[in-house]
Chain A
């Protein structure tokens, strides 16, 4: 997030796109609810009539995967109606003229049939966002889990650059991160393109720096993404170590994924449960869990916070860092002589420019947002206040393209996937915590009542849902939360492994799978 969570009740206009925040980030959503209660305007873009949509001033139930078209048309309206913040664009951006020329070709009348929403509503949203003194964008995986995820994000950036809604309180472009330390995993360099602190691996200066620190040689070449690695299992990848991820249930195209992991000669899994993924491993290590582990995590607003152990480890479980370091030492690697989580974290602070000003003791109260370049720095709750790191903000001339697969006679419904309030990811934790079954005993397929009738299905009865990759049986839930023609389910339950169906395509840059779009066929169980 460019802005802190504390800013969430401050914007005049809040623009939520592809974020079901009341279920996925409930505490953050309270900020938005407070803002709306105090008079802020709310724009919600989501194919489902989520709870936030009920409070929206403008609600755009777009067809899944049409975000770029909507955002281009919004930019068109802002340019056409002279709502561009010229002071901001003059001082801080580059490429505006070319961009304004580009978006001339994408009026709301062009986007409306793609997005399946009225052009007037697109205009309304654009004016509301642009005219306010302070507007803030919030998004989640509804923006990124598409083959055009990068284009979606760039399109949102275009809107902030046109209007100058960035670098000030109550503005910004704010992705809501979905896991407690997913921001931290990136911060720490668990990425194929970046060393810790987002230092590019293909920059020889960084290579030289880390070779000096670690005393070893490191490739200048970018690593491959996990998606590519899974594709190459059994061909060029033969050994893998997975820490705390139930790949088999969380990744798209389960059958492909299972085949990939089974074709490895050596798979080591570190986890707290014997997950579906761990069952395929050659060696499984028991990790200490949350509440048993000292450490550090970074939240969605870049706040670096301490995790503290309160109870002893179960059985012989050990911290992840200890397990990895022990493997490293047995392989003769140097630099893994850590005695505590503190040792590891302090090393990270030394090598990451974003953390240089931090250490184990300084983060005790959790008041720092990175970057914290030195020990006297107060932290950076708000990014880009005085300028952009790389100079000027650059407009991107994005274009719309269809999802990897579109509906057709064989697969006539759009399936989109997501999460539910009471379950978390593959439910390994929430499913074992007692009580959640009272609210959410199992998964169902949300479908508009008209579709239920038209397809000869019945509310509460099982149906069979198929994609080109497979089929699952799942109970139908008739609800107007779904648009006609679009169905929804979560990926939390192993009895309804929706990742058997998904996996139609990937964003070419980030390799993020298009988990939000999958054409499917739904029919009564007996008929198939």
Chain B
């Protein structure tokens, strides 16, 4: 549905955006050029990782020579185009479109923990001061409260049929686990046979909850911490599981780790995660965590000990082995899960400390 521009646009070709001539690359859409020049064109169905869709029409702009406003996300630039992005008429048009979209949603304000993009619609409703009651009437979408999976909330009362979830599942994840059924007010986001996610091809990667602009699909695990006091903070790090090295933002409230969101600009993952990286963070603050050093006592059992006592015991133990059997009787195994600094100091204590190359890591098994 993209309106294609002419092939082989000259390198010095320009379009005029709000009175300024700007260069563009072959194949770029008007929306891409506008966002590159900090034009605040609103969108709801847009996700830069996905093929342009043109469903919500909020990104409309005035194009000289065109009878009606055009969706900038699906219009490819051609040389000499004259575009206006912020006239009174176009802003009014957008507001009406937004009021149509928002009229059937149960609520606009959803908890930020719902997902990465969950505040997009609320932000626009506030910006346009949209009247939620103007088009009230028939509603589409029914929440799937019967889906008892622990991760993905399916609150379709909040759905605006932007299809970002369906498209991210197909285009980004390649799983095609969900699709659109029916049209108009009967539109439904559903799995094959309209069942539970568990019984579909869904891998619970969570990409749908992170791209949903309304919180209709939301992160149940994070939302369980909605009542934890404190502001939401995010810290960029790398996922602790496989070797792909996906960038994630740890979502915290005070000292509590309450969720994980994929980094949309993560160099290895560009917003993708899997079920482990997305949801398996609870081990960090689990009650089973070791909280104090343990030292084996004369009774043969492990007992809590101070750091000083445990470090002395560890060092004395190695000293004793060296005295009885020589330094070659020592060995160390570093971790493929801990950071570089762990592995580096482990090999250094063996080499610089005892002159030994008796060091390995867990990659052989």
A and B physically associate: yes
CA distance A22 to B275 in the complex (A): 11
Which residues of B, 320-334, contact A by the 8 Å Cβ criterion? 320-322, 324-325, 328-334
Which of A292, A334, A422, A434 is in CB contact (< 8 Å) with B276? A422
CA distance A295 to B339 in the complex (A): 6
Cβ–Cβ contact B345 & A324, under 8 A: yes
Which of A216, A272, A279, A327 is in CB contact (< 8 Å) with B302? A279
Which one of A187, A286, A310 has the greatest number of beta carbons of chain B within 10 Å? A310
Shortest distance from the beta carbon of B100 to any chain A beta carbon, whole Å: 33
Which one of A176, A181, A286 has the greatest number of beta carbons of chain B within 10 Å? A181
Which residues of B, 247-293, contact A by the 8 Å Cβ criterion? 247, 250, 252, 255-257, 267-269, 272-277, 279-286, 288-293
Given contacts A239-B321, A310-B235, contact A289 B284 (CB under 8 A): yes
Which of B204, B238, B319, B334 is in CB contact (< 8 Å) with A190? B334
Given contacts A266-B321, A513-B365, contact A324 B342 (CB under 8 A): yes
Cβ–Cβ contact B347 & A190, under 8 A: yes
Cβ–Cβ contact A222 & B236, under 8 A: no
What is the number of residues of chain B that contact chain A, defined by CB distance less than 8 Å? 112
Chain B residue with Cβ nearest A331: B315
Determine whether B1 belongs to the interface, using a CB cutoff of 8 Å to chain A.
Answer: no
Given contacts A25-B243, A433-B279, contact A265 B293 (CB under 8 A): no
Given contacts A243-B334, A303-B268, contact A214 B339 (CB under 8 A): no
CA distance A266 to B295 in the complex (A): 11
Chain B residue with Cβ nearest A236: B329
Determine whether B174 belongs to the interface, using a CB cutoff of 8 Å to chain A.
Answer: yes
Which residues of A sit under 8 angstroms from B198, Cβ to Cβ? 438-439
Which residues of B sit under 8 angstroms from A297, Cβ to Cβ? 238, 245, 339-340
Cβ–Cβ contact A341 & B243, under 8 A: no
CA distance A33 to B255 in the complex (A): 39
Cβ–Cβ contact A178 & B242, under 8 A: yes
Cβ–Cβ contact A513 & B364, under 8 A: yes
Cβ–Cβ contact B329 & A424, under 8 A: no
Which residues of B sit under 8 angstroms from A312, Cβ to Cβ? 255
Cβ–Cβ contact B329 & A238, under 8 A: yes
Which residues of A sit under 8 angstroms from B276, Cβ to Cβ? 421-422, 424, 430
Cβ–Cβ contact B341 & A345, under 8 A: yes
Which residues of B sit under 8 angstroms from A429, Cβ to Cβ? 240-241, 280, 283
Cβ–Cβ contact B364 & A188, under 8 A: no
Cβ–Cβ contact A180 & B238, under 8 A: yes
Cβ–Cβ contact A330 & B337, under 8 A: no
Determine whether A296 belongs to the interface, using a CB cutoff of 8 Å to chain B.
Answer: yes
Which of B293, B338, B364 is in CB contact (< 8 Å) with A316? B293
Which of B175, B283, B351, B363 is in CB contact (< 8 Å) with A210? B351
Shortest distance from the beta carbon of B85 to any chain A beta carbon, whole Å: 31
By Cβ-Cβ distance, the 9 closest A-B pairs, closest first, are A315-B291, A299-B245, A295-B339, A33-B174, A223-B357, A244-B335, A177-B243, A182-B336, A320-B342
A residues sitting closer than 8 Å to B (CB atoms) are 5, 22, 24-30, 33-34, 37, 145, 176-193, 195-196, 201, 210, 214-219, 221-227, 229, 236-245, 247, 250-252, 265-266, 268, 270-274, 278-279, 281-287, 289-301, 303, 305-312, 314-321, 323-328, 330-331, 333-336, 338, 341, 344-345, 347-348, 366-367, 421-422, 424, 428-436, 438-439, 510-513, 515
A-B contact pairs, 26 of them (CB 8 A): A180-B336, A182-B336, A185-B336, A201-B357, A221-B357, A223-B350, A225-B360, A225-B364, A250-B362, A252-B365, A265-B321, A295-B341, A297-B340, A299-B238, A301-B268, A303-B267, A305-B268, A310-B237, A320-B335, A320-B341, A328-B345, A331-B319, A344-B345, A345-B340, A366-B238, A511-B364
B residues sitting closer than 8 Å to A (CB atoms) are 148-151, 171-175, 198, 203-205, 221, 233, 235-247, 250, 252, 255-257, 267-269, 272-277, 279-286, 288-296, 302, 307, 310-315, 317-322, 324-325, 328-353, 355-365
Q: A179-B241, A186-B361, A243-B343 are in contact. List 5 more A-B contacts (CB 8 A).
A: A299-B245, A331-B318, A336-B349, A434-B150, A513-B364
